[in-house]
Amino acid sequence: MSWIIEESDNASSAINIQGNSVTSCKEGDYGSPIHVLWNEPAEKSGLYYWQIEFSQLDEYGIVSVGLTTQNDFKGGYDLKAMQYNANLTNGIYALVGTFGSSIKQGDTIGILLNLTDSEMKMYLFHNGQPLGLAFHVQAPFTKPLFPVISFYGNGKATIVRSEEIPTSLDRRQEQFKGMEGHWKLIDYPEHKQIFVPDTIIDAYAACPEVFYPNMKVLLKICTILPMITVTTEQTFCVLKLLKTYLRSTMLKIRLHGLAMMYIYRD
C-alpha cells in the first residue's frame, strides 16, 4: 500500500511521500488542488475504517478527505469523489454546507465505509466525534473505493487503517453549558413610553424630517389626499346638477360662475 499522486506537473514537484505519510509543500498559490490517493482498495463487502491525522497544516490552508474510484481520480478540478472539508462535496462543488467544523492542524478525520452489494454508507468522525451518515449510495456503483486527500495549501497527513470500528455512529448534538451559580435581579433600566400615533396627522407631526425626509413627504400627501378627493367629487356632483340636458347650451363663463356660487354658497 502506498500513495498515488495525480498526474500533473503541479503535483509531482509539491508532494513528498514517506510510508503512510504524505506532505504537500509548494511556494505561492496552489491555483488548483493537489490530490493523492491511498492505494488500499475497498471492494469486498464489510466495514473499512481509516483515520487521517493532519500533523501540519497552513493556518489558512484548506484540505478535503473522502473516497473516490480509480476512474474518478483525476487532477485539479476534474476529481470526482465523496469528500468532507467542513462541507460535504462531490470533489469540487459543495453538496451540504457546514456538515462539521473546518479541518485544522492536529485534527484527525475518521472515515467509516459500510460496503455491501446493494449499497454503501460513508460515516464521518472529526476528532473522535461522530458526525453521522455523510453519503448513502444505492447499487449500482463503481468499486473499488480508495481514500483520497485534496490539498489546497501546504500540509502533512498520515493515514492508518484501524480494526477498531466505532460503535456510536449517530451525530451528537452539542450541549449548551450554561454559567453555574445563583442569579438575582438587582436593577433594570427604565424605557421611555413609546408614542404610537393614532391618526395620519399625528404621525406627520411626530415624524422628524431630518431623519425621514421621504416618509415626511409621504405622510403629507396622505394627509391632504382626502381633501383633494372630496373637492373633486363635489365638483363633478355640482356639474351634474348644473349641466343638465336642457342647459347643455350654457356658455363656459356662466357655467363657471354658477358652479362657484353653488360650491361656496356658505
- Tell me if 14 is assigned to some domain: yes
Q: Which three cell numbers stand for residue 248?
A: 347643455
The greatest distance separating any two alpha carbons of the chain, rounded to the nearest whole angstrom, comes to: 112
Can you give the pLDDT at residue 175?
56
Alpha-carbon distance 238 to 217, whole Å? 32
Q: Are residues 232 and 156 in the same domain?
A: no
Residue 176 has φ and ψ, to the nearest 5°, of: -80, 125
Can you give the pLDDT at residue 246?
47
- Tell me if 137 is assigned to some domain: yes
- 4 close to 159: Cβ distance less than 8 angstroms: no
How many structural domains does the chain have?
2
Q: Are residues 133 and 247 in the same domain?
A: no
What is the chain's mean pLDDT, rounded? 84
**Residue segments in the chain with a per-residue pLDDT below the cut of 70:** 173-194, 226-250, 266
CATH number of the domain within which 68 lies: 2.60.120.920
Sign of CA dihedral 205, 207, 212, 214: negative
Q: What is the CA radius of gyration of the chain?
A: 38
Q: Are residues 240 and 151 in the same domain?
A: no
Residue 200 has φ and ψ, to the nearest 5°, of: -65, -35
| pTM as predicted | 0.64
- 124 close to 74: Cβ distance less than 8 angstroms: no
Q: Are residues 136 and 238 in the same domain?
A: no
- Name the DSSP letter for residue 92: S
Alpha-carbon distance 81 to 99, whole Å? 16
3-state secondary structure of 259: helix
Range of the domain at 241: 200-263
List, for residues 39-49, the tens digit of each pLDDT value.
Answer: 999 999 999 99
Whose CA is closest to 150, among 49, 10, 43, 47?
10
Q: Which three cell numbers stand for residue 95?
A: 453538496
